[in-house]
Amino acid sequence: MDAELSELRLVDDVMRQWPAVIGVFLKHRLHCVGCPIGRLHTIRDACVEHQVDLDRFMADLQTTIAALFQPRSRQSPDALPSAIISSL
């Protein structure tokens, strides 16, 4: 990760650095995407303002960001559906 995730990071900065977390914001009903306040609010500010559990929200953000850095495994041909294999 380029910069550490912290509850003190600005909402807009977090969404720009890791666009995949936009779904986490929406899941927690934080409609910060495109909101001009996102440039001023920290994650903590947004959670307080919208009455979202900060610890749970941070955990979801961390899980999503960590998944971005996990190596993806290649599926063996045995795992592919037969229709796909027959079309190769």
Predicted confidence (pLDDT) per residue in 79-88, tens digit: 555 544 454 5
d(CA 71, CA 49): 36
Helix (H) or strand (E) holding 25: helix 22-27
Range 23-29 average pLDDT: 95
Range 68-75 average pLDDT: 73
Range 44-49 average pLDDT: 96
What's the token pair of residue 71? Answer: 């190596």
Interacting residues of 57 by C-beta distance below 8 A, sequence separation 6+: 24, 28, 30, 43, 47
Identify the bridge partners of residue 42 per DSSP, sorted by sequence position: 10
User: What pLDDT is stored for residue 1 in this prediction?
Assistant: 45
d(CA 86, CA 88): 5
pTM of the entire structure?
0.75
